Amino acid sequence: MNTVAAMRRLIVFAALVAAWLVACASPTGPGPATARHVPVVAYLGYTTSDVGAPYLGAFRQRLAELGFTDGRNVAVVERYAEGQYDRLGDLAAGLVRGGVDVLVTPGPGPTMAAMTATTTVPIVMLEAGDPVAYGLVKSLERPGGNVTGVSSILSDLAPLHLDLLRRTVPGAMRVAVLWNPTNLAEQRLWGERQTTARVLGWQLQTVSVSAADQLDAALATIAGGQVDALYSLGDPLILSERRRLADFALAHRLPTVFGWREFVDAGGLMAYGPSTLALYRHAASYVARILKGARPEDLPIESPEKYELVVNLKTARALGLTIPPAVVNAADAVIQ
C-alpha cells in the first residue's frame, strides 16, 4: 500500500514538473520569451541636446506623472539635427527603421520629416504653428492620418508683439526682424507683421538666419541698420542663441520683443507667447494616451494651455526705458 502511494506521488510530481517546463517554453509562460515590450518614444529635435535638455526634462516628468517612467516602462530617445534642417529627413528615417512607437516633433520641419519617414508610426507635434495651413493634418478636430498634438498659431501674436513695442518705445519707426526663412511658421508670420507695421507707420528690416554660422553677419547687419528696436518670434536656431542676442541688443541699446520667455530670462526686454515647458508637458499627455491605446487620428489637436507675458525691468532700466504700468500689471512674470 505504501509503495502504491509513493508511486502516485511520484507521478503527480513528475506531471507538475512537466507542466512547469512547458509553461516556461511557452510564449505566454514565465520564461525569457515573456519579456514585456518597452515602448520607445523618439524625440526629433532641430537644435542640440543641451538646448533641448530642460524641455525634455519637463516632458519626461509629465510622462512619469501619467504612468510612464523613462528607463522603467518606456524608453525616451533623442536625436538632434544640430541646427541643420537638411539632416532631419535622415534622422527621422533612421528612427523609424530602428523601431519606435511614437515620434515627438517640435516644429513644422521635424514634423514634415517624420511624416515623410512614416505614415503609420504616431507623431505628436508641438510648436508647429498652423498645422492645417501647412498640410500636416486635415483639421484640428479630426486630424486624420498619424499626426496629432499641440498647435500654436503664432501668426495671431505678431500684431500683439508690435503693439507692445509701440506702447513701450515711443517714436520707434524702424524695427529689425530676425527670422529663419526655412521655418514655415516664420514665413507665415511675415504677412501679419507687414500689415501691422503699415498700420503703425513703421518700416521692418528683415534679417535672415538659417544656420548658426550666419548669426554674426546678421547681427552686424542689424548694428549698421539704424533701427529702433529688435523683434524675433524665436525660431529654434535663434532661440538657442538667445544669450548672445540679448547681450547684443543691450550693447546696442535696442529694445526687444520675442515670442518666448526664455529670451527675457536671458536679458531680453519683453516676450509674449506660449509657455515652452507647458507645451512639452502637454505633448507628453498625448504620448501617454497613445501608449495606452488611443489613435492619433482620433485625438483633436489642442491649443497651448498657457500663454505668458514676461517683462524684464532690469533690462528696461539699463536701456533708460519706462515700461508702462498697464504692461507691467498685465505681466505674468516680472524680472526685477
Check residue 198 and give its pLDDT. 66
Q: Quick one: how many helices (H) and strands (E) in the chain? A: 13, 12
Instruction: Give how far Cα 90 sits from Cα of 110, 126, 267, Å.
Output: 11, 20, 36
Residues 217 and 235 in one domain: yes
Check residue 199 and give its pLDDT. 59
Residues 45 and 127 in one domain: yes
Check residue 313 and give its pLDDT. 97
Q: Is residue 33 part of a domain?
A: no
Check residue 93 and give its pLDDT. 97
Check residue 15 and give its pLDDT. 45
Into how many domains does the chain fold?
2
Check residue 157 and give its pLDDT. 78
pLDDT tens digits for 163-214? Answer: 898 889 888 889 999 988 877 666 666 666 666 666 567 788 889 888 888 9
Residues 219 and 319 in one domain: yes
Residues 193 and 72 in one domain: no
CA–centroid distance for 200 within its chain: 32
Beta pairing, strands 75-80 & 123-126: unpaired
pLDDT tens digits for 136-154? Answer: 888 889 898 999 999 876 6
Residues 327 and 197 in one domain: yes
Residue 315's nearest CA partner among 267, 245, 281 is 267
Check residue 14 and give its pLDDT. 45
pTM over 0.85: no
Check residue 191 and give its pLDDT. 60
Residues 147 and 65 in one domain: yes
Residues 147 and 161 in one domain: no
Integer Cα distance of 181 and 178 in angstroms: 10
Residues 205 and 83 in one domain: no
Three cell numbers written together for 184: 514655415
Identify the domain containing residue 205 by its residue range.
Answer: 155-275+307-335
Considering just the CA atoms, what is the radius of gyration of the chain in Å?
A: 27
Check residue 35 and give its pLDDT. 57
Residues 245 and 321 in one domain: yes
Three cell numbers written together for 165: 513695442
Residue 266's nearest CA partner among 17, 20, 51 is 51
Integer Cα distance of 80 and 157 in angstroms: 28
311, β-bridge pairs: 270, 334
Q: 152: how many CB neighbours lie within 10 A of its CB?
A: 24
Residues 108 and 60 in one domain: yes
Q: Give every residue of the chain whose pLDDT is below 70, as ranges.
A: 1-35, 153-156, 184-200
Instruction: Give how far Cα 123 sits from Cα of 42, 64, 80, 278, Å.
Output: 10, 19, 16, 18
CB 109, CB 126: distance < 8 Å: no
Q: Tell me, what CATH number does 181's domain have?
A: 3.40.50.2300
